Amino acid sequence: MSADVVPLRPRAEPSLSPMLALTAQGMNSVNAVILDRMQSEVPLIPALAGHLISGGGKRLRPMLTVAGAELCGYQGTRHHKLAAAVEFIHTATLLHDDVVDGSDLRRGKAAANIVFGNPATVLVGDFLFTRAFELMVEDGSLKVLKILSGASSIIAEGEVDQLVAQRHVDTSEERYLSIIGSKTAALFAAATRIAAVVAEKSEAEERALDAYGRNLGIAFQLVDDAIDYDSEAEESGKGKGDDFREGKMTLPVILAYARGSAEERKFWQEAIAGFLTEDEDLAHAVKLINRHGCVDATRERARYYAQRAIDAIAVFPPSAARDAMAEAALFAVARRY
Amino acid sequence: MSADVVPLRPRAEPSLSPMLALTAQGMNSVNAVILDRMQSEVPLIPALAGHLISGGGKRLRPMLTVAGAELCGYQGTRHHKLAAAVEFIHTATLLHDDVVDGSDLRRGKAAANIVFGNPATVLVGDFLFTRAFELMVEDGSLKVLKILSGASSIIAEGEVDQLVAQRHVDTSEERYLSIIGSKTAALFAAATRIAAVVAEKSEAEERALDAYGRNLGIAFQLVDDAIDYDSEAEESGKGKGDDFREGKMTLPVILAYARGSAEERKFWQEAIAGFLTEDEDLAHAVKLINRHGCVDATRERARYYAQRAIDAIAVFPPSAARDAMAEAALFAVARRY
């Protein structure tokens, strides 16, 4: 005997639309800065940078800066340059990640390293990183510089830490959370925090926006990592199963290993060590992960961080901006692409 | 009939010793900052960074900051952190260069990419770069930040430009000078200029130190590029003939191509395109370059820039510091390693 579960209140899927509407105008200005400042007299630089920057990215991080500025009621324009700097830092890390991982795909098309080669990809990443700092220096706030240079340093440490943990099946959930806290959440936190700084808000509001960004960043990365093993998810921009083949110990794998039988653990040991890389191995990995509910468990963890993000901005008075940011956090958990 | 040439005044070889003596105490402090700030909780970071940083580098660039501070009579300690930042920027670019070039040797030992792999080398380079910015932000001078972030951006552009010019036998001397002006001289100029900034010297003195560093940097790179084809030079830290095998159009090759016969030009076209990479090809290249006096001609160009460097600091009153910096410029031209 079974019972149909009838939801008490039918509830719309969370949407990113309010966030996109909130930030549309600001993002126009940010995008203009991005396009302007990725230019160079060396034509390869805008060509390579544009391959990625014009390549359908969501520009989520600069959007968070713009949303944060809206939440703070900021009327100025300083955050446009700073949001562009955030996106340049992010793009630089993506370019270097693609070299580090030897990726084939990024945002659904050939990765820059495939099209332009590793050398140019490394160097243009460096260029974008230096441009980010130039933009911050032009803004002239030492406080913003401290936040973003600190975040950049933490990102770099997190990337190295992730590299070290790669192919180590005994990576703990704590280590994993520390890595994504550095490589992903630090920039989310900085992106939102600087909005409070330019708006000259209180220390409490600064910390609230930092916490929103940090928790959202962790939720976002958890879901990213879940999607790579989610049989119901759409194709993501990167190649399906990239994490698996690269031996990355993301939470779905950490949980499947912890919950798995001795035989299953043997599979994971061999797979993460790089001996099982065929499509059928990936299919088996997805089967094991879903057998133990590890995609759902990862999303549940993400839900926890999204809720913390939402509660963090409760110090701000109710507004369309606050609602949009809260719904964006729910969307980050629910998304399937 | 031949006449012995008797030098009118026997003249000692220029030496780096006065420069080393001038900066010894300051460099102790700089080295302490370098060792302290390359640490991380991720053990791979100091291991990899230390491989290069402890690996016998001359620390010429931070030494220039310290020498500049001495020239300005600066009594404070701010320049120690900033000089360390300069060295971190330089080290980051070396690490990325080694990945870009696929180098085997650096400073006479296995390059970091060989020992630690390309992925870690890229990421630790990023880390050092972010640490450099953290050091600058701690210092808190927006003027210094502007100078060093601007220089970093120019370096990155120069590196990309060099990559684009690689294997193009028709690279002009002008293009070459533009590349080394960006990839090398910009950081020399910034390193010396910031000494005048922390010492709160006049705009004219700032510009003078900038010009000293910039011209010295060009001289230094010219001689570096000459040494790679100088049969009388000692083994340099990098592999002999690296520039040749990588198809880099440095001035000795540009001149040998310009001055060569049709047959010689055919050799250069094939060699720079990457079809002639044996030891005998390198030997032939060295022969052609010396047949046309291109090592000496490159050193002559370097002498011109060294003289401009020396004359640039004539705005400062005579001092042991000024003499040491002048002799260092002569040494840069005369050195054979």
DSSP B102-161: T-SEETTEE-HHHHH-HHHHHHHHHHHHHHHHHHHHHHT-HHHHHHHHHHHHHHHHHHHH
Q: How much is the mean pLDDT over chain B?
A: 93
d(CA A84, CA A67): 14
Overall average pLDDT of the B266-289 stretch: 96
d(CA A265, CA A108): 32
The minimum CA-CA distance between B21 and chain A, rounded to whole Å, is 34
Which tokens belong to B262?
A: 């049709």
Contact residues on chain A for B120, CB-CB shorter than 8 A: 160, 163
The answer to whether the CB atoms of B157 and A45 lie below 8 A apart is: yes
Contacts of A136 (CB under 8 A, 6+ apart): A81, A82, A85, A144, A145, A148, A149, B149
Angle, CA of A83, A85 and A87, to the nearest 5°: 75
- Minimal Cβ distance to A130: which of B101, B120, B152: B152
Select the more confidently predicted residue: B3 or B102.
B102
Judging by beta carbons within 10 Å of its beta carbon (0-12, 13-18, 19+), is residue B76 exposed, middle or buried?
exposed
- Minimal Cβ distance to B127: which of A92, A101, A160: A160
Strands B105-106 and B109-110: antiparallel
Angle at which helices A118-139 and A17-37 pack, to 10 degrees?
A: 100
Please report the pLDDT score of residue A105 as a whole number: 81
Please report, as a single letter, which amino acid is at residue B261. S
d(CA B54, CA B31): 10
B148 pLDDT more than 50? yes
The answer to whether the CB atoms of A137 and B142 lie below 8 A apart is: yes
- The string of DSSP letters for A129-159 reads HHHHHHHHHHHT-HHHHHHHHHHHHHHHHHH
Three-class DSSP category at B302: helix
Distance, CA of B17 to chain centre: 18
Angle at which helices B60-71 and B186-198 pack, to 10 degrees?
A: 30
User: Which domains are assigned to chain A?
Assistant: 17-230+240-334 (1.10.600.10)
Contact (CB, 8 A) for A108 and A56: yes
Contact residues on chain A for B100, CB-CB shorter than 8 A: 118-119, 122-123
Angle at which helices A118-139 and B118-139 pack, to 10 degrees?
A: 10
Please report the pLDDT score of residue A241 as a whole number: 86
Classify residue A109 by its DSSP letter.
E
The minimum CA-CA distance between A157 and chain B, rounded to whole Å, is 6
Contacts of A277 (CB under 8 A, 6+ apart): A244, A245, A271
Q: Which residue of A has its CA nearest to B98?
A: A119
Chain A positions touching chain B (beta carbons under 8 Å): 40-42, 44-45, 92-93, 96, 99-101, 118-120, 122-124, 126-127, 129-131, 133-134, 136-137, 140, 142, 145-146, 149-150, 152-153, 155-157, 159-161, 163-164
Q: What is the pLDDT along chain A (337 residues), one digit of tens a residue?
A: 445 555 555 567 999 999 999 999 999 999 999 999 999 999 999 999 999 888 767 899 999 999 999 999 999 999 999 999 999 999 999 999 999 988 888 877 888 999 999 999 999 999 999 999 999 999 999 999 999 999 999 999 999 999 999 999 999 999 999 999 999 999 999 999 999 999 999 999 999 999 999 999 999 999 999 999 987 766 556 667 889 999 999 999 999 999 999 999 999 999 999 999 999 999 999 999 999 999 999 999 999 999 999 999 999 999 999 999 999 999 999 988 7
Overall average pLDDT of the B17-24 stretch: 97
Which tokens belong to A329?
A: 């956090």
Contacts of B152 (CB under 8 A, 6+ apart): A130, A133, B89, B129, B132, B187
Cα distance from N-terminal residue to C-terminal residue, chain B = 36
User: Look-up: residue for tokens 């390579």?
Assistant: A48
Helix (H) or strand (E) holding A325: helix A320-334
Three-class DSSP category at A106: strand
Which tokens belong to B26?
A: 């300051």
Contact residues on chain A for B93, CB-CB shorter than 8 A: 126
Contact residues on chain A for B150, CB-CB shorter than 8 A: 134
pLDDT digits (tens, 9 = 90+) for B38-95: 999 999 999 999 998 887 678 999 999 999 999 999 999 999 999 999 999 999 999 9
pLDDT digits (tens, 9 = 90+) for A5-56: 555 555 679 999 999 999 999 999 999 999 999 999 999 999 999 998 887 6
The answer to whether the CB atoms of B152 and A137 lie below 8 A apart is: no
What confidence category does residue B1 fall into, taking pLDDT thresholds of 50, 70 and 90?
Answer: very low
The answer to whether the CB atoms of A157 and B42 lie below 8 A apart is: yes
Please report the pLDDT score of residue B238 as a whole number: 61
d(CA B113, CA B129): 17
Which tokens belong to B313?
A: 């600091």
- The string of DSSP letters for A217-239 reads HHHHHHHHHHHTT-TTSPP-SSP
